[in-house]
Amino acid sequence: YFFPFFFFFFFFLSHGFNDFMDGSCSRCPYAALSLSSRRYMGAVGSSRVMCDNVPGLVSRQRQLCRRHPEAMLSIGRGVAAWTAECQHQFRRHRWDCNALDRESAFVHAISSAGVVFAITRACSQGELKSCSCDPKKKGSAKDSKGHFDWGGCSDNIDYGIKFARAFVDAKERRGKDARALMNLHNNRAGRKVGAVKRFLKQECKCHGVSGSCTLRTCWLAMADFRKTGDYLWKKYNGAIQVVMNQDGTGFTVANKRFKKPTKNDLVYFESSPDYCIRDRDVGSLGTAGRVCNQTSRGMDSCEVMCCGRGYDTSRVSRMTKCECKFHWCCAVRCQDCLEVVDIHTCKAPKSAGWISRT
């Protein structure tokens, strides 16, 4: 099991955006990397130094990094957003986006979609030398409401998809084993029309006498990343279990009675562990110390989340961020508010076996 390289990579690049994470990532195993990144941030001007020091890149990715250093920074800004999206989608679950298994299908897909978003947005913002607004959206066109002119800046999502394919898939292209094929499949699913392009929406502005709309200018804009998160969440819940071929060159559906996975489906090999107990081998941090919901009856309830071990309650007054406003781009500025709350956190298991394992 490995964390996708890009997680290391983006945490490495994105320390300036830790505010985004709002402390919720203090448990991330790679959070420490954000500290070591400070050493290199000063050297960002030198893409060679930066790209050579990012851990976990394969050589094809290092080449892309050196050729497009500003694209790497755009992706680095995106990681906070899609890690937050991952944590949002899994907010009621034991798993917290830190470790991977069946969930790796989701992580591969949402990270891949996240790169598409980060690069596409950077193109529209004029941050990258290699791309700009969609050059094909020019001249006049027609829709159900009649004729209109393309204008403004249409998001160049085809470029974002192309870049994400070259960059994200490079890691898996080296290996030809079934796991690499599975990761490629899930990367691709995150970039499919269903996950990203479908949510491009046409926005228009009316011109003409007192807004009569005799003239319209339109452009295509990406929807909120939440839509992609929700879509991939559905796909995750319907993810299809697969088994390796006899010769290890691919995979087929595990249960022949179930439908074969399409390119839009997420796929995974073995069943996930239950994530109750910390276990490095399966990449689980366990749920000890996780916050649970005393009144819920769902996955986030204290019974389920704490796996029956019980929980501690403490009353804390805390400063929270409130009235947050998003500033383009990419900062969130908030006010500080004081609130008093009861917090329930899962107890750790008592067994000695657990202690010796950590």
Ligand X SMILES: *[C@@H]1O[C@H](CO)[C@@H](O)[C@H](O)[C@H]1NC(C)=O
- Rounded CA Rg of the chain: 22
Cα(92)–Cα(300) distance, rounded to whole angstroms?
4
- Rule CB under 6 A: say whether 296 interacts with ligand X: yes
Name which of 116 and 306 has its Cβ closer to ligand X.
306
> Residues 6 or more apart from 46 whose CB is under 8 A from it?
none
Who's near 224: CB < 8 A, 6+ residues apart?
Answer: none
Treating both helix axes as pointing N-terminal to C-terminal, what angle do 157-168 and 178-191 enclose, rounded to 10 degrees?
170
**Structure-block tokens of residue 122:** 């950077």
Tell the smallest beta-carbon distance from residue 320 to ligand X (Å): 12
Least distance to ligand X from the beta carbon of 336, Å? 20
Nearest approach, Cβ of 296 to ligand X (angstroms)? 3
- Report the C-alpha gap between 297 and 226 in whole angstroms: 25
CA 291 to CA 302: how far, in whole Å? 8
Please, which residue, 86 or 184, has the CB nearer to ligand X? 86
| Minimum separation from the CB atom of position 303 to ligand X (A) | 12
* Residue 314 touches ligand X, criterion: CB under 6 A: no
Cα–Cα dist 131/283, whole Å: 38
Q: Which is nearer to ligand X, 51 or 346 (CB)?
A: 346
Binding span for ligand X by CB under 6 A among 193-201, 217-225, 262-270, 288-296: 288-296
To ligand X, the closest distance from the beta carbon of 310 in angstroms equals 18
Q: Which stretch binds ligand X (CB under 6 A): 96-104, 108-116, 118-126, 293-301?
A: 293-301
Of 141 and 324, the one with the shorter C-beta distance to ligand X is 324
Sheet holding 267-268, edge to edge: 251-253, 240-244, 267-268
Name the one range near ligand X by CB under 6 A: 207-215, 290-298, 313-321, 344-352.
290-298
Residues 295, 314, 317, 356: which binds ligand X (CB under 6 A)?
295
Contact between 53 and ligand X by CB under 6 A: the answer reads: no
Q: Smallest distance, Å, CB 290 to ligand X?
A: 13
- Count of residues that interact with ligand X, criterion CB under 6 A: 3
Task: Answer whether 346's CB lies under 8 Å from 333's CB.
Answer: no
Q: Which residues does residue 332 pair with via DSSP β-bridges, in sequence order?
A: 326
Distance in Å, CB of 293 to ligand X, minimum: 4
Among 53, 87, 293, 354, binds ligand X (CB under 6 A): 293
Shortest distance, position 344 Cβ to ligand X, whole Å: 10
Beta 291-292 vs 201-207: how paired, if at all? unpaired
Instruction: Assess whether the previous peptide bond of 306 is cis (omega < 30° from 0).
Output: no
Q: Which two tokens stand for residue 55?
A: 């851990």
Q: Across-strand partners of 143?
A: 146
Residue numbers at the binding site for ligand X (CB under 6 A): 293, 295-296
